[in-house]
Structure 1
Amino acid sequence: MTETQSTRTEPIAYDVVVLGAGPVGENVADRTRAAGLTTAVVESELVGGECSYWACMPSKALLRPVIARADARRTPGLSRSVQGPLDVAAVLAHRDSYTSHWKDDGQVRWLEGIGADLHRGHGRLTGPRTVTVTGPDGGRRVLTARHAVALCTGSRAQLPDLPGLAEVRPWTSREATSSRSVPGRLVVVGGGVVAAEMATAWQALGSRVTVLVRGSGLLSRMEPFAGELVAEALTEAGADIRTGTSVKSVTRENGTVLVVTDGGDRIEADEILFATGRAPRTDDIGLETVGLRPGVWLGVDESLRVSGYDWLYAVGDINYRALLTHQGKYQARIAGAAIVARAAGEPVDAEDWGAHTATADHAAVPQVVFTDPEVAAVGLSLAEAEQEGHRVRAVDVDLSTVAGAGLYAEGYKGRARMVVDLDDEILRGVTFVGPGVGELLHSATVAVAAEVPVGRLWHAVPSYPTISEVWLRLLEAYRDA
């Protein structure tokens, strides 16, 4: 049931208290409630969290029309019909619909439906197994947890330490996904996923985009060709991408942003987006009251329990294992199952790939970057596999050689790579870059997570003519090398 906030002197006892009602907190609550444990969920903003209102959902709603138009322009018989600009008002309305207009009524009903109690307000640990919630009206109530407190507070955008930056009113990922209008000129600082996706979206919606990348290219944590192909496409679309470039200063006068780079370049813009990393939301949740340092990422064991604590869990972004919504939800399922087992006095399955072990965080993390072209990757890159000491070989295929790719889009450009462990004859990682490749990723995730032998993959026959036939081309390239 949903609780109204008021001062209540006596503590309210639960089996589990979850701090944060984003997808991660919701999934922890779902697992514990399904097992019959009484569960409280505390949220200071909107139930549904960052993903629902400022990240996954609005960003993909902005990008979907962009990608659909790009695909149509590469399709004979359609290309001439889609040469005009996007209907910006319709795109933004589509985005607003997917965020439920930044109202969380539906998510609240879902929490009520599973039987969790929602406490709105700012929650802080105030001792072992204890959370104090300060509500919007200033009233306080104390919640205690018989078995577990799960910290699921996520992360926030990290801004650089530049003098006067606050006065500039820069965009973070939140403003970039929720803006009500298209800036005429947009500077994007950063080269990661947020930077690449938002540059793609706003360039297509009519902004003149300049991307400033401190490193040598986009998407530096992925295979090098991924960032190269995305940068090439962005440049062809009209974006100006400058690598090896840092921001020295930024000011705003009369509505215009002036950026000065370390190389002395001066760039004027209407808005500037800093997509320069994330910081944990652990600075004001009372960690110091239980002997932990506030404002840092929290170390956890494989069941997501905070190191050294038998009752405290840190699930999702705040443990820095994998800053992805789907991976946080996976962790939530693991943590929820572990909490339930320990509450019942049952043994915890601590084996790799066990019911209470988040092994995939290390071996099989999937990610899709919704740019044009898309990037889809799981597991280790070639460089990461070599750094971990595996004896591996990279097998590359030009996706334009696959019949299904040519049918999908005229002039299809893309690339695929699988990283093969030569000792175990399994895949350590797979990367696809090209239109529509996001839908290929789960097959790769299964292959990597299940450690399917390369010899067995020969018997997983891809349908013809689909882009998934790239699997056959990859296996042939491995055999013939």
Structure 2
Amino acid sequence: MSDSASEERPHTRAEEPPRQTGAEQTPLDRTYDVVVIGGGAVGENVAARVVQRGLSALLIEQELLGGECSYWACMPSKALLRPGEVLRAARAVPGAAQAVTGDLDVRAVLERRDAFTSNWNDSSQVRWAEQTGITVARGRGRLDGPRRVVVQLSGDTEERPVEARHAVVLCTGSQPSIPPIPGLRELRPWTSREATSAKEVPKRLAIVGGGVVGCEMAQAWARLGSQVVLLERGERVLEALEPFVGDLLADALRADGVDVRTGVALRSASREGEGPVTLATDDGEITADTVLVATGRAPRTAGLGLETVGLEPDARLDVDDSCRVTAVEGGWLYAAGDVNGRALFTHQGKYQARMCGDAIAARARGEHASPVAWSPFAATADHHAVPAVVFTDPQVATVGYTEAQARDEGISVRAVEHDLGQVAGAALRADGYTGRAKLVVDQERLVVVGFTAVGPEVGELLHAATVAIVGEVPLDRLWHAVPAFPTVSEVWLRLLEAYGL
């Protein structure tokens, strides 16, 4: 299974259609065991899982099969970031630094990005789905009562009714939110989609929002030659994380030439004709050629027909740990991935998809599939062990609680930190290695409940922390997991020593 199951100004407007394969539509049956609306990474995984368990599945997608992650988020954004990261890493090691004589080749970077998106052509995804046994429908799907979906195929005005024997699963993801700032929406600004698919480097780029998308795109386009200003109304970028994260990352962005402005709110936006954009802030005016709005995302529920099953049209889709929508009688409606708002990460959405698919299949067989903590059908990691990496340079790796979050949950915690630059493996990796790591420990159970690290390529440290948290490994046992020398993972030893072991 693929990992998705897994502009001169061509794609600078969000409403432009993606490029599909143009393959002929498969004739639809009247009934399927499972109907999945939304064919991104999560929908693909739900459909594949139930087919593997012996059920039939219809997967409905109106854009590109593979969804946001494959074409406008995870893959293209990381492809844009990686070349600059490699170049900086080479320049940080004497001997290699002397061999580096040029800057990034913008055209080559964009071509590599395009290769990772298959040039926004989803034929390989369609082939995979069909070979897996999934029926793919190009078009829109919406609910029309219990276990009933109407499908409007692309290029067709007719709506076709389809019945689901066991379940309908909503996997429609999320969409960028544009705040109600005067003039901003009228500019038709970039969102994450345009920022990851642009064909030219914007001369002057203003980014509104200092979250993950804002920080990643600020660094990517700055290293490709754009003059970038980043506006964050909070005290620091990535404000929800440990305080040292935002401080270290802001320093790194400024070193790349990004004008990072925190504690600054955007008041209005305007443009005269085809001229530059003027952003009025409480810290003065900013002029830019392109504006990226990166202020968060909202579940994509409009037009899903929620009202036909007793829900409000824009209702929050509360789900249990098997992703079953709790407010709908009969237990047949599920929502997995960003649309349920639990954990807006591709890996967590695919994790939910596996739990959801297995629960649907078990219930179809009449087996007990209660979403309790010990059940294999319960997405319990969503509650306390969500790993995430911000792929800036330095990277930010987090899993579990921050110290503040743990205290808010009523956990008696102790936190310890260590300077990554003092770890031998890090010092060998790059001259002037700068980073920090933090461990949050539950003092009553003596287990790790949170981990955060900032530093070059620290994302590769994250799974060890995730295993420690999910496995609830006692500290006195974790002490015997000896890190190899000299690796950056030696920070685990240093953190446990700081704790007192």
Do residues 248 (structure 1) and 248 (structure 2) align? Answer: no
Q: Do structure 1's residue 451 and structure 2's residue 451 form an aligned pair?
A: no
Give % identity. 58
Any idea what SS the aligned residue of 1:127 has? coil
Normalization by structure 2: what TM-score? 0.93
Provide the residue aligned with 1:180 in structure 2.
199
* Separation in 2, partners of 1:3, 1:345: 36
Aligned AA for 1:394? A
Question: Which among 255, 270, 281 is matched to residue 261 of structure 1?
Answer: 281
User: How far off is 1:50 after superposition?
Assistant: 0.4
In structure 2, the partner of 1:112 is 130
Q: Distance in 2 between matches of 1:272 and 1:139?
A: 39
Matched, 1:95 2:113: yes
Q: Work out whether residues 182 and 267 of structure 2, in 8 Å CA contact, stay in contact via their aligned partners in 1.
A: no
1:65–1:278 distance in 2 versus 1, CA, 3 Å:
same
Which of 456, 463, 472 lines up with 1:442 in the alignment? Answer: 463
SS in 1 for 2:500: helix
1:131 is aligned to 149
Residue 379 of structure 1 aligns to which amino acid in structure 2?
G
Alpha-carbon distance between aligned partners in 2 of 1:38 and 1:255, rounded to the nearest angstrom: 54
> Residue 121 of structure 1 aligns to which amino acid in structure 2?
G
2:7 alignment counterpart: none
C-alpha deviation, 1:208, in angstroms: 0.8
**Deviation string for 1:167-186 (max 9, x for gaps)?**
31210000000000001111
Q: Which residue of 1 aligns with 2:423?
A: 402
Matched residue of 2:169: which SS?
strand
Within 1, Cα distance between the matches of 2:294 and 2:411?
A: 32
- Of 254, 262, 266, which aligns to 1:235? 254
Number of aligned pairs? 475
Q: 1:456 to 1:210 in 2, by over 3 A?
A: same
1:36 — aligned with what?
Answer: 54
Is it true that 1:287 corresponds to 2:293 in the alignment? no
Question: 2:239 pairs with 203, 217, 220, which one?
Answer: 220
Equivalent of 2:405 in 367, 378, 384: 384
Q: TM-score, normalized by length of structure 1?
A: 0.97
SS at match of 1:411: coil
Residue equivalent to 2:364? 343
Contact 1:5–1:140 under 8 Å retained in 2: no
**Aligned partner letter, 1:74:** A
Deviates more, 1:423-432 or 1:165-174: 165-174
What corresponds to 1:66 in structure 2? 84
Structure 1 residues 385 and 365: CA distance shift in structure 2, 3 A: same
Whole-angstrom distance in 2 between the partners of 1:199 and 1:340: 44
Superimposed CA distance per residue, residues 3-60 of structure 1 (whole angstroms, 9 cap, x where no aligned partner): 6278x8xx71000000001010011011100011010000010000000000000000
The question of whether the paired residues in 1 share the 8 Å contact of 2:33 and 2:55 is answered with yes
- Encode CA deviations 1:239-295: one digit per residue, 9 max, x unaligned: 1111111111111233311111023x1111110100001011101111111111122
Residues 443 and 18 of structure 1: CA distance in aligned 2, closer, same or farther (over 3 Å) = same
> Is the CA contact 2:321–2:372 (under 8 Å) kept in the aligned structure 1?
no
Question: Letter of the aligned partner of 2:197 in structure 1?
Answer: S
Q: 1:150 aligns to what?
A: 169
> How far apart, in 2, do the equivalents of 1:149 and 1:262 lie?
48
The Cα shift of 1:430 comes to: 0.5
1:205 aligned partner: 224
User: Contact between 1:129 and 1:148, CA under 8 Å: does it hold in 2?
Assistant: yes
Cα drift, residue 77 of structure 1: 0.8
Query: Conserved in 2, the CA contact under 8 Å of 1:366 and 1:379?
Result: yes
Residues 179 and 270 of structure 1: CA distance in aligned 2, closer, same or farther (over 3 Å): same
Offset, 1:133: 1.0
Alpha carbons of 1:206 and 1:353: their partners in 2 closer, same or farther (altered >3 Å)? Answer: farther
Question: What is the aligned partner in structure 2 of residue 55 from structure 1?
Answer: 73
Residue matched to 2:445: 424
Q: How far, CA to CA, are the matches of 2:220 and 2:249 in structure 1? A: 13
5+ residue gaps, structure 1, are none
